[in-house]
């Protein structure tokens, strides 16, 4: 998807003052013209988050539906056309979500994955306290993160990365074509590489930096 680029309004004004001089026997054109041009002033703005709360927590400056370019989603194995927003406004915190699916699945050949991305204004330490039993510390592109893997039968694996507004959780679901228990590789294999592709856009996007 192509995300909107926001430009603040710039105002440019010009005023011209012309003085007429009357000479003996005729009227001439202006001998002097003073032109004053205001400096062009641009005030950077950021995109307003699509959800806010009254908690006093930071605004969420990364939008999972707007800030990851299509070509990056495709490189990671997801179809941008399957984008589906999923927001969770709450009194004490907020999550802004977006879901994507893999473009094709061939049983026994190409696995069918879904990806849910949640940007929230809770801290990584709060996330660790909530999921301490299944979370382990890691990093993505040098950014502090948690790998969340529950060894009980499940079809998901998640990585939560720390941001200056809170966290972004990348949760992948494997839509299995069999009934056996999924392996760690089936659930988590390659997820860190995908998150590493997405991570730079958490900071470099129109909601975070003036355009």
Domain boundaries, the chain: 70-203
**Buried/exposed 80-95: b ≥16 CB within 10 Å, e otherwise:** beebeeeeeeeeebbb
Most confident of the ranges 50-54, 153-157, 175-179? 153-157
State the pLDDT confidence band at 25, using cuts at 50, 70 and 90. Answer: very low
Q: Is the pLDDT of residue 15 over 60?
A: no
pTM of the predicted model over 0.75: no
Q: What is the pLDDT of residue 23?
A: 36
Question: Residue 124 and residue 6: Cα distance in Å, rounded?
Answer: 30
State the pLDDT confidence band at 104, using cuts at 50, 70 and 90. Answer: low
At a CB cut-off of 8 Å and minimum separation 6, what does 196 contact? Answer: 140, 141
The Cα angle at residue 100 between residues 147 and 79, in degrees rounded to 5 = 120
Element (H, E) at 172: strand 167-174
| pLDDT tens sequence across 57-94 | 888 999 999 999 999 999 999 999 999 998 776 778 88
Please count the other Cβ atoms lying within 10 Å of the Cβ belonging to residue 157.
25
């Amino acid at each position: 998807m192509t995300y909107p680029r926001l430009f603040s309004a710039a105002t440019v004004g010009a005023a011209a003052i012309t003085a007429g001089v009357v000479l003996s026997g005729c009227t001439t054109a202006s001998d002097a013209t003073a032109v004053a041009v205001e400096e062009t002033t641009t005030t950077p703005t950021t995109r307003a988050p699509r959800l806010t709360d009254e908690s006093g927590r930071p605004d969420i400056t990364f939008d999972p539906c707007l800030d990851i370019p299509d070509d990056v989603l495709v490189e990671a194995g997801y179809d941008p056309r399957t984008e589906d927003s999923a927001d969770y406004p709450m009194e004490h915190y907020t999550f802004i979500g977006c879901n994507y699916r893999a473009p094709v699945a061939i049983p026994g050949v190409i696995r069918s994955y879904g990806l849910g991305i949640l940007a929230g204004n809770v801290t990584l330490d709060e996330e660790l306290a909530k999921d301490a039993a299944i979370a382990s510390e890691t990093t993505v592109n040098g950014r502090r993160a948690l790998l969340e893997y529950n060894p009980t039968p499940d079809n998901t694996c998640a990585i939560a990365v720390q941001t200056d507004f809170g966290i972004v959780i990348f949760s992948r679901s494997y839509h299995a074509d069999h009934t056996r228990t999924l392996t760690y590789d089936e659930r988590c294999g390659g997820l860190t590489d995908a998150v590493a592709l997405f991570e730079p856009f958490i900071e470099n996007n129109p909601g975070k930096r003036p355009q």
